Structure formats: structure tokens, C-alpha cells
Amino acid sequence: MSPAATVQADASPAILIEGLRFRWRLDRPWVLDVPDFQLAMGERWLLAGPSGSGKSTLLALIAGIQRVREGRVAVLGHELTTLSGAARDRLRADRLGVIFQMFNLLPYLSVLENVLLPCQFSAARRNRAQAMAGSATTEARRLLAQLGLDAPGLERRPAAELSVGQQQRVAAARALIGQPELIIADEPTSALDADRRLDFVTLLQRECANAGAALLFVSHDRTLAEFFDRVVELPAINRIPMLG
């Protein structure tokens, strides 16, 4: 990373997309055509859209798992187009938190080990967690407590034994550990019932605010709109009409 890029990073948005077009293969139709999208640092947006509208693909591009071939995607000041696969993996490991719809946890690890997983793959995350609380484990426990998962003995239980709602909160703790600057959540509430859904969104909002992390929260559930700085409809930013 050049010094110029670092300076630029400070002022740059969390996510900047310009003229992005994407298709899975050359002989397949385009699935994304996003002329312009920006999420500022520390902002928390709801990205709404029905399934099949390319949400997961967009998230995979932002997370740096899929390679951007046409257009520009910059995440936390880094141009993904010019980064190698390894550099994108590093960026994701160091500075992004990801929450899935369900089955977020490795079933063979305990709750605590699951939360600490990002620190296994990123020294930067581990160091920041240590700086926050003295040790990564203490930080993981703090996050679990913040998310209401401080029942005695819970942290040592296998992740698979938890309820879906508890699993999602463990996933949130994992995404938040080591202060990532951008959290991407792909329908994290769709497997939860209505009460749990509101609880989860409130908790996630609060923790992102505490950590100063930007949040891109994808959901088709617009009842959650009131909790976010802004609601963006994916069909409004993606010029490709919905598939199927």
C-alpha cells in the first residue's frame, strides 16, 4: 500500500462504487450494473430488495471475494480492481466483518472460539482486540456480554447447540471483534422471529455505533427501516432488471 493510498483512505467512503458491471461468465447475462453507490464511513444503511436482485453478488464483490472486472469498487479507500486476490483476502480479514443469513458458525468450535476466529486469520484484528481489552479473549467476552450472551458456561458450549437467535448474535460478535470499519450483513434477521429480529437489529446498530463501523445491512424486510440512517432499494441502484 502506497502512502498516497493511505492518505486517501482517511477521507474516502467506506464503500464507493462507480460504473460497476458484473456477470458470472462471459456467456451469461449481466446481473449487476451499478452506476453509482457510496456508503460513508460510520453510516448505517439498509439495502432492500427482493431475492434474486443480485444482493449477494454485490456483497461478494464488496467483500473482495469476487473479482471486479468492469467499473470501480473501492472499499475503505482500497481499489479492489487493482488488488490481488490475496490482498483482497487480507483487506477482508483485517477490516471487514461479515454476517450471513444463517449457519454463521463453525459447529465444531465453541462459542468463544467462533468469536475469536477472525483473530486467527488477521494479526491486525488480534492486535486491535488486545489494545481494546488487554487480550482478544477478554474483548470477545465483552462483546458477547454486550450482545446478551454472558450466561455462565455459554462461551464454552459448541456453537451448534445454540438457538438460531443466539447464533446470530455470536456471529455479530465475531463480525465486530477487532474493530473492523465495515460490517456487511446479508439478511441476518430472516431466520429470526419478529421480536428477536428487532432485538438483533438494535444490538447490531448499537455495537456498530460504539465501534464507529459502517454497516451495510441487506434485507427484504422494510419494517426495519426506522433503525437505519438510510434505506436504499437495490433495484433503484442496479440497472439490470430482476431475474426470473
Partner 1 sequence: MAILTLAAKSLWNRRLTSALVVFAIALSVILLLGVERLRTQTRASFAHTLSDTDLIVGARGSPINLLLYSVFRIGDPTNNVDWSSYRTLAADPQVAWTVPLSLGDSHRGFRVLGTDRSYFAHYHYGRHQPLQLAEGREFEDLFDAVLGAEVAEQLGYQLGQSIVLAHGAGEVSFALHQDKPFRVVGILARTGTPVDRTVHVSLAGIEAIHADWQSGAPLPGVHLSPEQVRQLDLTPKTITAFLVGLKSKTAIFKMQRQINEFAAEPLLAILPGLTLQQLWSLMSLAENALLVVSGLVVLVSFTVMLAALLTGLNERRREMAILRAVGARPWQIFALVLGESLTLALAGAAGGLALLQGALLLAGSLLEARLGLTIAAWPPSVHELSLLAIVLACGLGAGLFPAWRAYRYSVADGMTIRI
In the complex, least distance from residue 223 CB atom to partner 1, rounded to whole angstroms: 24
Cβ contacts of 87 within 8 Å, gap of 6 or more: 78
Smallest separation (angstroms) from partner 1 to the CB of 91: 9
How far, in Å, are 68, 114, 152, 174, 226 from residue 63 at the CA level? 11, 20, 35, 16, 26
Among the listed residues 92, 210, 199, 189, the one whose alpha carbon sits nearest the alpha carbon of residue 142: 210
Residues that bind partner 1 (CB under 8 A): 56, 59-60, 63, 65-66, 85-86, 89-90, 92-94, 98, 100-101, 103-109, 113, 117-118, 120-122, 174, 186
The minimum distance between CB 11 and partner 1, in angstroms, equals: 25
Query: How many whole angstroms separate alpha carbon 26 and alpha carbon 47?
Result: 27
Closer residue to partner 1 in complex, CB, 118/165: 118
**In angstroms, what is the minimal distance from the CB of 47 to partner 1?**
16
- Closer residue to partner 1, CB minimum distance, 8 or 110: 110
Q: How far is the CB of 226 from partner 1 (least distance, A)?
A: 28
Would you say 106 or 242 has its CB closer to partner 1? Answer: 106
Measured distance between the N- and C-terminal CA atoms of the chain, rounded to whole angstroms: 42
Sort strands 182-186 and 214-219 into parallel, antiparallel or unpaired.
parallel
Nearer Cβ to partner 1, position 183 or 208? 183
Q: Which is nearer to partner 1, 107 or 134 (CB)?
A: 107
Cα–Cα distances (Å) from 111 to 67, 157, 171, in that order, read 32, 6, 9
